[in-house]
Amino acid sequence: MIEQIVSAVQHGLRREDVDHNALDVVERLRDEGFEAYMVGGCVRDLLLGLDPKDFDVATNATPEEVHDLFRRSRLVGRRFRIAHVRYGRHVIEVSTFRKAHAEGDDDDERLHADSGLILRDNVWGTLEDDATRRDFTINALYYDPVHEQILDFVGGLDDLEHRRLRFIGDTRVRLREDPVRILRAVRFQAKLRFELDPTIVAAIPECAEHLRAIPPARLFDEVCKLFTSGAAAAIWTALAPTRLRHSLFPCTPPDDQLTMLAMQNTDARIAEDKPVTPGFLLAVLMWHDYVARCDELAEAHNSTEARAMAASETLAAEHEIISIPRRFSQFVREVWALQGRLENIRPKSVRMVLEHPRFRAAYDFLVLRGATGEPVTEQAAWWTEVQTLDADGRDAMIDGLSPAPAASLRKRKRRRRPKSAAGSEG
In Å, what is the CA distance from 316 to each residue of 24, 291, 312, 321?
A: 46, 15, 6, 9
Cα 46 to Cα 12: distance, rounded to the nearest angstrom: 9
In Å, what is the CA distance from 2 to each residue of 61, 129, 152, 279, 338?
A: 21, 11, 6, 45, 59
Beta pairing class for 118-121 and 82-87: unpaired
User: Phi/psi at 197 (nearest 5 deg)?
Assistant: -60, 140
Beta carbons of 29 and 57 less than 8 angstroms apart = yes
Cα 255 to Cα 241: distance, rounded to the nearest angstrom: 8
3-class DSSP assignment, residue 94 = strand
Annotated catalytic residues are 54, 56, 135
DSSP lists the bridge partners of residue 269 as none
Cα 89 to Cα 74: distance, rounded to the nearest angstrom: 14
Closest CA to 369 of 383, 357, 355: 383
Cα 173 to Cα 154: distance, rounded to the nearest angstrom: 17
**Which run of H or E residues covers position 95?**
strand 90-96
Cα 213 to Cα 197: distance, rounded to the nearest angstrom: 24
Residue 201: what residue type?
A: V
Beta carbons of 18 and 39 less than 8 angstroms apart = no
DSSP lists the bridge partners of residue 152 as 4, 141
Beta carbons of 342 and 366 less than 8 angstroms apart = yes
Residue 165: what residue type?
A: L
CB atoms within 10 A of CB 6: 18
Three-state helix/strand/coil letters over 198-257: HHHHHHHHHHHHHHHHCCHHHHHHHHHHHHCCCCHHHHHHHHCCCHHHHHHCCCCCCCCH
Mutual angle of helices 278-285 and 359-371, in 10-degree steps: 40
